[in-house]
Amino acid sequence: MDLDSRYELLELIGKGSFAKVYRARDKELGREVAIKQIHEQYLDDPKQLERFWQEAQLLASLSHPNIVTIYDLHRERGWVIMELMQASLGQRFGNRQMPIASVRTTLAHGLRAMKYLHSCGIVHGDIKPSNLMIDSPRRIKIGDFGLARRVSDDDGS
């Protein structure tokens, strides 16, 4: 099954300086997914493509209930297919005050994920409300690993 017949792009749900994210339908598996697509101007830029693929490979190497799951990637399209989240904390709460129960959940889940990342020798490098994703009312996941990096013992990290 080729990409055009497998995935149906449903709506644009996010856009940044490097990529856009679509809500899409995986017709083969019958589920909704998120497709992160690198902007076209970067498809011919080896340095930017390498950064994009390194982010995907790093994310694919992780397995934790509070980290967004990657399902697949398609280099020719500049696509990374991932688990679809409901919203980011930034989208959900904006400038409004979060309920204390949400603050507790966010801190607990975020800290568990960061502890796991650090045990794997990885620093996320960009923890902020727009990168803390809401999976369900009671689960937060860290996403967007574009600035993440592996650290070595001599980095002092």
The neighbouring-strand residues paired with 22 are 12, 35
Q: Which of 101, 81, 79 is nearest to 32 (CA)?
A: 81
Q: Which of 2, 4, 72, 126 is catalytic?
A: 126
Active site residue 153: no
Structure tokens at 69: 């799951």
- Spell out the SS3 assignment of 7-60: EEEEEEEEECCCEEEEEEEECCCCEEEEEEEECHHHCCCHHHHHHHHHHHHHHH
d(CA 16, CA 154): 33
CB 19 within 8 A of CB 38: yes
Catalytic residue numbers? 126
